[in-house]
Amino acid sequence: MLPIERKQQILTWLQEEETLRIAEISERLEVSEMTVYRDVSSLVKEQKVLKTSNGVTLIDLAKGNPKGCSYCAKPVQSRLAVQLILTNHQVEQTCCMHCGLLRYNEIESRISQIICRDFLKDTTISAKRAYFLMETNAHMNCCQPEVLVFDSHKQAKQFQQGFGGQLTTFEKALIAIEKAMNGHGCHDSH
């Protein structure tokens, strides 16, 4: 089994069982405890798990900070908020789609759904099928560059005519936001 496969297996077990001891993992994977330590250290670096006194546990950001954005820790306002439904049925929230996309990129393998609100109609929609308008002049007072979400392509286009910005899809927005951030945090001044 490759390191990446072992790490994925460890995460899957942790989602079902919450905590595991190193010895247990070593037994199940039939590798040395040294190898498990190495896999776990790399998961710790990726901020996916925590080492505890009795083993390893999944990082649960939603629990530690129930109302803040799980990417930038800003308070979450309902209108722009994004819900990330994880495969273990936990729910994370981000303050806006800017952080939603960045968080999605971080923990994609653990996300089963990403839910947000249509910017104009305020209805709940699935982000994967929505239209994204990036860097408009609307200035919603959250994270820059701003990302607005629309259910209808027609309305997104109409909004773009008034407020500018680039119209794109979920997949392309994920790439565009990474490029725009280029390794900086949301709060860097330019």
Closest contact distance (angstroms) between CB of 147 and Zn ion is 9
Chain-centroid distance, C-alpha 145: 17
69 binds Zn ion (CB under 5 A): yes
Residue type, 25: I
Q: Which element (helix H / strand E) includes 103? A: helix 97-107
Q: Which is nearer to Zn ion, 40 or 99 (CB)?
A: 99
Of positions 36, 56, 72, 174, contacts Zn ion by CB under 5 A: 72
Q: Which of residues 6-65 bind Zn ion (CB under 5 A)?
A: none
Class of residue 116 by CB neighbours under 10 A (exposed 0-12, middle 13-18, buried 19+): buried
CB 77 within 8 Å of CB 68: no
Choices 18-26, 46-54, 96-104, 116-124; region in contact with Zn ion by CB under 5 A: 96-104
Closest contact distance (angstroms) between CB of 27 and Zn ion is 40
Q: Which of residues 120-159 bind Zn ion (CB under 5 A)?
A: 142-143
Other residues' Cβ atoms within 10 Å of the Cβ of residue 26: 17
Binding site for Zn ion (CB under 5 A): 69, 71-72, 74, 94-96, 99, 142-143
